[in-house]
Amino acid sequence: MIGLVIIFIALIILYLGVILFAGATFVKISLFALDKLAVFIASWYYTHHYFSVKFSSGYAIYFWDVLAAILAVIIYSALFKIIHRKLGLIGKILNFAISFLSSMTVYCILVNNFITKETDYFLPLLNHDIANQVVNYIIITIIALVVWKRREEFLEEKEESKEYYIVEESDE
């Protein structure tokens, strides 16, 4: 009997762990890749309605949709890296704007669906509406700064990982 209770508790802990892991992974992906997801969905939509259905049929429609969406994400990522590397401050500002929009979207989705039960997009921290919005935007900005810093570190790691070797002719 005790063994059955232990197995039951272990299954509950495992279930909660999987749920928390899936939720944390979803939030992390949403914060750091929401821009790429938006590019993917937009290119899928426009390819589907303006190209695929006119030039192919059957399941080939979805092949062209996915191919165009993946290509659009690759082009977007390459352009973003080029802008970040070549334009310096403008690239950092663009990265912060994307980080802020991603953070605000995830924050509002989480608050709306899990905390306020679809009644509001901001945490009800204060009684005054404008002051409450200001505090919520400060929280979103702090989250965005963390996301922005991590994205910047990731972009710098990519640039630093390129190593150049100069091989000189030896006397031997």
Over the stretch 16-61, which tens digit does the pLDDT of each residue have?
Answer: 888 888 877 877 877 888 889 899 999 999 998 888 888 888 888 8
Pair (49, 64) in one structural domain: yes
- Total of domains in the chain: 2
Residue-level pLDDT at 66: 92
One-letter amino acid for residue 74 of the chain: I
The pLDDT score that the predictor gives to residue 31 is: 81
pLDDT of 54: 87
Q: 39-44: long-range contacts at Cβ-Cβ below 8 A with a sequence spacing of 24 or more?
A: 39/69, 39/72, 39/73, 39/76, 40/69, 40/70, 40/72, 40/73, 41/69, 42/72, 43/68, 43/69, 43/71, 43/72, 43/73, 44/68, 44/69
The answer to whether residue 51 sits within a structural domain is yes
113 and 49 share one domain? no
Range of the domain at 41: 33-86
82 torsion bin: left (phi>0), alpha (psi -120 to 50), beta (else): alpha
H helix or E strand, kind and range, residue 58: none
Residue 13 lies in a domain: no
CA nearest to 75, candidates 64, 67, 86, 85: 67
Residues constituting the chain:
172
User: What's this model's pTM, rounded to 2 decimal places?
Assistant: 0.71
pLDDT at 111 over 60: yes
pLDDT at 171 over 70: no
Within a domain: residue 44?
yes
Write the pLDDT tens digit of every residue in 116-170: 887 888 998 999 999 999 999 999 999 999 999 988 888 887 656 665 656 566 5
Q: How far, in Å, CA of 132 to CA of 139, rounded?
A: 11
Residues 77 and 117 in one domain: no
